[in-house]
Amino acid sequence: MTKRNGEIAWAPDRRLKGVERALLPNGLTLLLAPLPAAKKTVVMLGVRVGSASEPRRLGGISHFIEHLAFKSTPRLSCAEMARRVDALGGSLNAFTDTVATVFELRAPSATVTRGMPILFESLVNDHFDRREFERERGVVLTEITGNLESPDDYARTQLYLPALFGEAPFARPIDGRPEVVERLTVAEVRAWKARHYRPENAVLAVAGSCERAELDDAIGVTFARWRGRGRGRGSGRGSGRGSGSGSGRRAIERWEDMAQVYLMLGVRTPSHRSRDASALALLSAVLGLGPSSRLFRLLRDDRGIGYDVIAEWESLGPAGHLVAAIPGFDPARFAEAERLIRRELARLTTEPVPERELDKAKALILAGHDDAVESPIFHAESLIYREILGLSDDYRDLKPRIDAVNPVRLREVAARIFQRPLTLAALGPRDVEW
């Protein structure tokens, strides 16, 4: 039965017990996760546009707009905006990924609704102060330069992902390339916002313990008045499978003045929408989650190769990848490290993981999930992405999906994934043989 508070018609979500939803006349989807024990409330707005939606000539524009979010508006200066949010005991934040740009207000539940007009005004603002625009361009360029000068970031974004996925938009750097960001104009930024920043192309999620009547009133004077000016609706799922992509490729680059080598060895996988998602998460946990994981024990503890060893399964929208990485180690051990990683991945395709080892990986994943569920940020972000990506599972109820994976199932998925040629990326010293 639909419940009404003020002018918003809230109804129970059919698949998420305890969560409510509403659809405003302007097309904006509202999602509410009441958390009575939470002292803070998070208000999060996700727009269905990210780096995967961008043409190459505008690569990085979504991230640039994220940086411009909390700058001066015709009514509020940047400094006054920050002062008002600080006075509420709150904070503003934003981030960009392949499928969404997300804006967040976090504050004590008693004051959070008073910050919502600031969040809304920042979102819809397109009257950019020219000096602030140029200053923020400089900030973004500094961020890009820092990433390009970081060996592990460079190996991932400039070598590994392009080698694995080719020209797929979702594999490009989210922050863009310097030569593109340097020439982005105010007119291009305004046009991008007008096209994508529309209520029917966004989701507003609230998680916490704020008063319902105050929330409805705050939405009524802010997001309910949002009017879009663009066309159509984004899918939020990224685009393209990649052309000229290179499973099995080796992307190797050498730099001057480097003492260590950075190695990444990975393979394409299905995305989070796949029925294999839980098995893929467990494969990465068996390989690299915790100091008793296979690669950590083999490479660091038994062989002394590298300070850290990573295994990660990541979904980038329409596709995913599973990667093993060693961020910095002796170049003389490069061939040995590659051989050992390949051996462990191959072993997963033929030998079922023992029950005890699999139970340990499950326990680690579920413990991390249980910690996250206590945070309003986790609930708001999960609601946003569940809606944008069209997922159907209850994000809070991970245990049945993890427990359903047994050693036989895990080996089947490993055999299917690791039968594909692995892609290798490495960045190391120019003047040392490796």
Question: Pick from 405, 402, 411, 315: which is nearest to 367 by CA?
Answer: 402
Strand 202-208 and strand 29-34: the pairing is: parallel
Question: 92, 74, 383, 30: which is closest to 224 by C-alpha?
Answer: 30
- Indicate if the pLDDT at residue 100 is higher than 70: yes
Residue 397, helix vs strand vs coil: coil
Question: Which residues lie across from 32 on neighbouring strands?
Answer: 20, 206
Task: List all residues 6 or more positions away from 205 whose beta carbon is below 8 Å from its beta carbon.
Answer: 30, 31, 32, 33, 42, 43, 44, 45, 46, 379, 380, 381, 383, 384, 387
Q: Within 13 Å, how many C-alpha atoms sit on residue 294's CB side?
A: 22
What is the pLDDT, as a whole number, of residue 7? Answer: 73
Nearest-CA neighbor of 224 among 30, 44, 24? 24
Report the run of H or E that residue 148 belongs to, with start and end.
helix 130-149
Residue 243 has pLDDT above 50, yes or no: no
In this predicted structure, what is the pLDDT of residue 242? 42
Instruction: State whether the Cα torsion 163-164-168-169 is positive or negative.
Output: negative
313's tokens: 């399964």
Give 336-359 pLDDT, tens digit per residue. Answer: 999 999 999 999 999 999 999 999
Tell me the β-bridge partners of 326.
Answer: 263
pLDDT per residue over 162-176, tens digit each?
A: 999 999 999 999 999
| Structural tokens at position 42 | 């998070």
First to last CA, the chain: 67
Comparing 8-12, 246-250, 308-312, which segment has the lowest mean pLDDT?
246-250
Report residue 101's pLDDT band, with 50, 70 and 90 as the boundaries: very high
Q: What's the distance, CA 311 to chain centroid?
A: 17
- pLDDT of the residue at 244: 42
Q: Phi/psi of residue 132, each to 5°?
A: -65, -40
